[in-house]
Structure 1
C-alpha cells in the first residue's frame, strides 16, 4: 500500500484523473511460488 500511496502523492495530476473516473490505482501482491496475484483492499 505504501507504493500505491507514493504514486498518488508524487503525481499531482493523478488525483484529478481518479476523481474523474479515468484512473484507478490498485495495489497487488504477486506470489512467485503459486503465480497468483492478490489485490489489496484499499483503492485510490
Structure 2
C-alpha cells in the first residue's frame, strides 16, 4: 500500500466520522443516507 492509498484511507475515515457527528447532532435525522463511492474517494 503506497502513501497515496494510506492518505486516502485516512482522509476517507475523517470525512465519514465528520458526517456521522453532523448527522447525530441534529434532532431531525434523515430517513436515508446515500454515499456514492467512485473508488477514488473524490
Both proteins in one fold, TM over 0.5: no
Larger of the two Rg values belongs to structure: 2
Name the structure with the higher helix share: 2
Structure with larger RCO (C-alpha < 8 A, sep 6+): 2
TM-score w.r.t. structure 1 length?
Answer: 0.34
Name the structure with the higher strand share: 1
TM-score w.r.t. structure 2 length?
Answer: 0.36
